[in-house]
Structures are given as structure tokens and as C-alpha cells.
Amino acid sequence: MKSSKNKRTNRNTLLVYLILVLGSLLMLFPFLWTITTSLKSITESMRIPPTLLPEAMRFANYTEAMIRVDFGTLYYNTAVMVGARTLAAIMFSTMAAYAFARIDFPLKNFFFAMVLIQMMVPGQIFLIPQFLLMARLDWLDTVKALVAPGIVSAFGTFLMRQFFLSLPKDLEEAARIDGCNQWQTYWHVMMPLARSGMVALGIFTALFAWKDLMWPLIVNTSADKMTLSTGLANLKGTFTTNYPVLMAGSLIAMWPMILLFILFQRQFIEGIASTGSKN
Amino acid sequence: MKLQKMKKRRWGDLGWAYLMIAPTILGLLVLNIYPVISTIYLSFTKTGDFGASSFTGIGNYTKMFKDPEVLQATWNTFRYTIGVVPVGVLLALFFAVLLNANIKGKTLFRTIYFLPVVSTPVAVAMVWRWLYNTEFGLLNYLLSLFGAGPVGWLTTSRYAMFSLIVVGIWSTLGYNMVLLLAGLQEIPKTFYEAADIDGASPIRKFFFITLPLVSPTLFFVLVLTFISSLQMFDFIYMMVDRGNVAMGSVQTLVFLFYKYAFQIYDRGYASAIVVFLLAIILAITALQMHLQKKWVHYD
């Protein structure tokens, strides 16, 4: 009786692994296909039946992609966009969140409603006026324009407020009694406690800035002011059917975030997970 | 004396509070609140030549609700959402439940499923384009082994939307799975132990313990996936070229908004389209908030 039950659980576990492995293959396959295609010649890439592995490693596709697109500049533009947005979001959101969570002040609910409104409406609704603003400031086609709309984060303010509300008040009360003002309490007491919240917010902000396509597409049209996303989209225009070069370009554009993810995967996953459970 | 000191401190607190929210509130005013009002205003104007605009009242809206392109785009937006949300969320829940079991290599699986989330959508779209390619794509080759195809995955109105939905599900599965997995891990183990003593089957445990207790997270994931699916743009932009006959059958409201705002420069009409999308999203979210009372269990 007992052994038959064991057999059944064993069979179930085996089935679970089988499904998980099958799912993993489906998730991974497009990446593997990107890698193998990026090393094939055009003729080999169009052969039928397709070859699973390239006959000869053709690294020339990578040089060709790099000649056509100045990836160094794109890395730089993207890093500035992602980095500046992330830092600004962390800095300004924690400040505002602290005030919303811990200080009573007139019109607090009114100001917080502004934060909520930003979170509830679809982002495209801001785009035309934001674009016109960039045009008026003469910022179109500059790296500044890439950063601008991400300078404040309503989501970050909301998330960090929830985070601060979940922290016990004893430490700050002690600090207040010792004569710290609100800024000192925020900076010396709350910020060190909020580290995990800030990591989560930073990862979330960086990931979505990294994936942003429409904004860089509309503000920056010169090749040297593009991001990796728009530069790659541009490469598609030049090499419509040369998939080996396009795949090489895709990998050149993709690897930094994938590497960061693999190095800090625990922080990534826990960070993203915490943005869900706090709401 | 003491009272005076407290009063002073109270004023100091207020000063700090306004200083600390100032960057965020100023930013929101300039970058978000003013733009919402401005877009709504623009939606009542007609964009003439050279970008000049004149007030037309509800002209854009009456035109929009008679415009077959907008109606089709609305239908496409819904079709995409209906395709991605149920299947995508159920699959994510399915894999999250499997990973929540006591298995080895959990971290590795989680990493693999999350990989598309950290990948650039443009790059992801590129390889799917290649897999879907009618003449040389791998998918049609596999079909040909069974004597079927070739299918115009991205080039025929019949399949293009389906193909985009598949990519949509594939690219968001890991994100939803991670959120759900976190929700599952918050369920106390004692509930399952008690059920084991009662001899409950895994299916019963799922429906009577897992599902109700994970329902708040599930609700959050549903709302999030709904909202993001209703705003689909990237994959259409990357996978369906201009002049592709399938474009009409896949272009969404956001894509149409992009086209009118930044390619045709009819800002008034584009604004009306995006305000319409706002109304749809708010209506659906409100409906979900209402329906959640029926199935979401909070402690």
C-alpha cells in the first residue's frame, strides 16, 4: 500500500520535471536559434532543411552589424537613460514617499491623488504633450530627452510609501526625540532600512526603461542619439532579410541586461516579486 | 515654552514635507498632469496644416466612431487581450504551482522562464519574425514535415493576430509566474498539512486552498496583464511591416495612436484615440474591481 503510493508520487514528480523541462525548452529555443542563426552565412540560414548548428562559425556577421551600427554609442545612450532614470526614481521617490508615509501636512491627499492618477492612466496619454515640451526646450535628438519623462516615478513613490508604512516607527521616534529633523530622520534612519525596497524599485525602473521603445523612437531620430532598442529597429530597415546579421545585432543589444540578470538573479526575481505582493 | 517649541517643530515638519515632495510633485505636474489635460483638450481640436489647431468640439470623436480603421483597431486590441490574458495568466499559474512544489533546480527553472522578461522586446521580436518567416522560417519547415503549410504566420490576416498573441504570452509568462510564485509562497504550509491528514487529493487542495489564498495575487496579475495587453505596440511595430496586408487585422489602438500622432501628425485625432483607450482601460479596471468581490479572498 505504502510503496504503491510512493511509486505514484515518484511518477508525479517525474511528470512535473518533464513538463518543466519541456517548458524551459520552449522558453530557451528562440534564444538558441538567435545564437545559431547569428553564426550562419545568409545562404545557410535560408537552407531547407535548416541546419541546427552552423557549418562554420561566421563571426563576420557580428563585425558587419557593428560596422553598420555604432553600438558603443548606443550602449552609452541606453546606459545614461537607464541609469539616470533609475537614480532619479530612487532619490525622488523615497523622499516623497517618506513625507507621504510619515508626515501630516495640508493637501496631502490631494498630492497623493496626483500620484495615483499617473499610475492609473495609460502612458501613451502623456506622449504628445511630452514630445511638444521636448521640442519647445529644443531637446529633441538629445540624450536628455531620453531621460526626461522618467525623472519622477509615481509607481516608485507609491511602492516606497507602502514600504515605509510597513516599517516599525520606534527607531524614528527615538531619532526624533534625539532632535533629528525630518530630513535627518529620513536620511540617517529610514534610508538604511529601505535598502531592499530601493533595490526592488531600482530593478523595476531599470528594466522598464531598458524595454522602452516608443519614447526613444519618437524623440530621437539621429543614429547617434538612439538607444539599443531603436538602433536595432533601425538595423532591421537596412538588413531586411539578412537574418544572420540581424540576429548578431540582437545579441549585441541584448547581452548586457541578460548578464546583469544572471549575476543578480535573486535580486531581480525578489525585487519584481515584491512589487506585486506589496500592493 | 514647551508648546512654542512643539509649534516650531510642527512648522519645520511642514517645510520638510513640502520640500521632500516638491521634486516628485513638480515633475508630475509638468510631465503627467498637464499632459493629461492637454491631451484631452487636443482631442477636441482639429489639427490643420503646419500643426496649427482649431477647436472642433466632439468632431474627432464622431469621426472616430464611424472610422472603420478605429473600430477594427478597437476589435484588434480586444482580440489580442482576450488571447493573451486568460491563456497567459493560467499558464503562469500552472508553472508557478509546479515550481512551488518541492523540486530540485527551482532557481534554474525560474531563471529560464524569466529570461524573455529581461530581453529587449525588439530583439525578441526579431527572432520570432525569423521563426515565423513564410519561406525560410523554422515553423513552416516543421509543418512541412507533416505535409502541411506553408502558413503566412505574419503576412495573412488569418494568422497574424494569433502569431502575435503567442509571442505576447511567451514574453510575459515569466513575469506573471514570478509574481504568482511569490503569492504561493505566502500560503502557510500548515494548511496543506491539515489537508494531507484529511486525505485531500492534490486537485482538491488546489481548488480549496491554493486558489482562494493566491487569489489576491492572481487578481493583481490579471489587472496588470489586462492593462499591458490593451497597450500592445512593440511587437506590431517590429513584426508587421508597413505595407503588410495583415496590418489592418492586427494594428491596435496604441499603434493607430502612434501612427496618427507621430507619422501623420494629426495630433487632434491621435489624442481622441488615446482618450478612448483611457476610457476603455478605466472601464475594464473598474469592472474588475467590482467583480473581485465575488472571487478574491482577503483575510
- Residue B133 and residue B116: Cα distance in Å, rounded? 20
Among all chains, which residue has been given the C-alpha cell 527572432?
B127
pLDDT tens for A66-102 read: 998 899 999 999 999 999 999 999 999 999 999 999 9
A140 lies in some domain: yes
Residue ending a domain, among A47, A62, A77, is: A62
Across A196-207, average pLDDT: 92
Nearest CA-CA distance, residue A120 and chain B, Å: 8
Tell the residue number behind the cell numbers 499603434, with chain if given.
Answer: B255
Q: How does strand B53-55 pair with strand B45-47?
A: antiparallel
Under 8 Å between Cβ of B187 and B209: yes
CATH architecture assignment, domain B60-295: Orthogonal Bundle (1.10)
Give the mutation candidate from A136, A177, A205, A211 for the B interface (greatest B CB count, under 10 A): A211
Give the distance from residue B204's alpha carbon to the nearest chain A alpha carbon, in angstroms.
Answer: 16
Residue A23: predicted pLDDT: 95
Q: B25 vs A186: CB contact, 8 Å cut-off?
A: no
Residue A278 has pLDDT above 50, yes or no: no
Residue A47 sits in the same domain as residue A150:
no
Predicted pLDDT at A279: 47
Q: State residue B8's pLDDT score.
A: 66
A39 and A112 together in one domain: no
DSSP H helical ranges for B115-156: 121-132, 138-145
Residues A21, A41 within the same domain: yes
- Comparing alpha-carbon positions, the chain B residue that sits nearest to A259 is B118
The grid coordinates of residue B262 equal 507621430
Residue A172's CATH number = 1.10.3720.10
Asked whether residue A279 is domain-assigned, the answer is: no
* A8 and A80 co-located in one domain: no
CB contact under 8 A, A16 and B21: no
Are residues B231 and A115, on separate chains, in Cβ contact within 8 Å? no
The ranges assigned to domains in chain B are 2-42, 60-295
Q: Which of B12, B123, B233 sits opposite A181 (nearest CB)?
A: B12
CB contact under 8 A, B126 and A236: yes
pLDDT at B80: 97
State the average pLDDT over residues A106-130.
Answer: 93
Neighbours of B137 (CB within 10 A): 22
Asked if residue A47 and residue A183 are part of one domain, the reply reads no
- Report the SS3 class of residue B47: strand
CA–CA gap between residue B78 and residue B249 (Å, rounded): 12
Q: Residue A220: what are its φ and ψ, rounded to 5°? A: -120, 120
Nearest to B24 among A96, A120, A249 (CB): A96
Residue A9 lies in a domain: yes
Question: What pLDDT score does A1 carry?
Answer: 45
Interface contact B122-A19, CB threshold 8 A: no
Gap between the terminal Cα atoms of chain A: 46
How is residue B205 written as a grid cell? Answer: 487542495
Q: Which residues in chain B come in under a pLDDT of 50?
A: 1
- Sign, CA torsion A242/A253/B178/B288: negative
Residue where one domain finishes, among candidates A10, A38, A62: A62
**Minimal Cα–Cα distance from A276 to chain B, Å?**
6
Q: Are A197 and A167 in contact (CB under 8 A)?
A: no
CA distances from A72 to A143, B108, B182, B255 (A): 14, 32, 38, 30
**Is A255 near chain B, with CB under 8 Å?**
no
Interchain CB distance below 8 Å, B17 and A95: no
Of B16, B38, B95, the CB nearest to A103: B16
- In terms of domains, do A169 and A32 share one? no
Average pLDDT over residues A121-131: 94
The H or E element containing residue B270 is helix B267-295
For the ranges A46-60, A199-213, B238-252, B265-279, which has the lowest average pLDDT? Answer: A46-60
> A226 and A128 in one domain?
yes
Per the domain annotation, does A272 fall within a domain? no
Half-sphere exposure of B164 (CA within 13 A, CB side): 29
Closest CA to B267 of B70, B68, B40, B62: B40
Residue A257 lies in a domain: no
| Residue B95 near chain A (CB below 8 Å) | yes
Domain that holds residue A22: 2-62
CA triplet A71, A75, A79: central angle to 5 degrees? Answer: 170
Euclidean distance between CA atoms B11 and B5, whole angstroms: 10
Residue B92's pLDDT is 96
Cross-chain Cβ contact B23/A125 below 8 Å: no
Please name the residue of chain A whose CA is at the shortest distance from the CA of residue B275. A125
What is the complex's ipTM, to 2 decimals?
Answer: 0.91
* Cell numbers 521640442: residue: A135
Q: What integer pLDDT is reported at residue A5 of this predicted model?
A: 61
Alpha-carbon gap, residue B38 to B22, rounded angstroms: 22
Q: Does residue A271 form part of some domain?
A: no
Are residues A97 and A6 located together in one domain of the fold?
no
Please name the helix (run of DSSP H) or strand (run of DSSP E) that holds residue B55, with its range, or none. strand B53-55
- Strand (E) or helix (H) holding B115: none
DSSP state of A50: P
User: What is residue A53's predicted lDDT score, i.e. its pLDDT?
Assistant: 87
Q: What pLDDT sits at residue B6?
A: 63
Whether residue A277 is predicted with pLDDT greater than 70 in this model: the reply is: no
Buried b (16+ CB within 10 A) or exposed e, B45-60: bbbeeeeebeebeebb
Residue with cell 506585486: A276
Whether residue A261 lies inside any domain: the answer is no
pLDDT at A229 over 70: yes
Q: Touching check for A79 and chain B: CB below 8 Å? A: no
Q: Which residues of A touch B177 (CB under 8 A)?
A: none
Q: CA–CA separation, B113 vs B104, rounded Å?
A: 15
Q: Tell if the CB–CB gap between B34 and A123 is shorter than 8 Å.
A: no
Q: Are A184 and A123 in contact (CB under 8 A)?
A: no
Three-state secondary structure call for residue B54: strand
- Are residues A54 and A130 part of one domain? no
Q: Are residues A8 and A93 in the same domain?
A: no
- Please check whether residues A104 and A217 belong to one and the same domain: yes
Q: Which of residues 47-66 of B touch A (CB under 8 A)?
A: none
Q: What average pLDDT does range A95-124 have in this prediction?
A: 93
Q: What contacts B149, CB < 8 A, 6 or more positions away?
A: B140, B143
Q: Do A105 and B17 touch (CB under 8 A)?
A: yes
* Structural domain count, chain A: 2
Whether residue A35 is found in the same domain as residue A110: no
Domain membership flag for residue A53: yes
Distances in whole angstroms, Cα of residue B282 to Cα of each of A113, B226, B288: 16, 11, 10
Most confident of A54-68, A116-130, A232-246: A116-130
Percentage of residues in chain A having pLDDT higher than 70: 96
CA distance A104 to chain B (A): 8
Distance to chain B for A183, nearest Cα, Å: 7
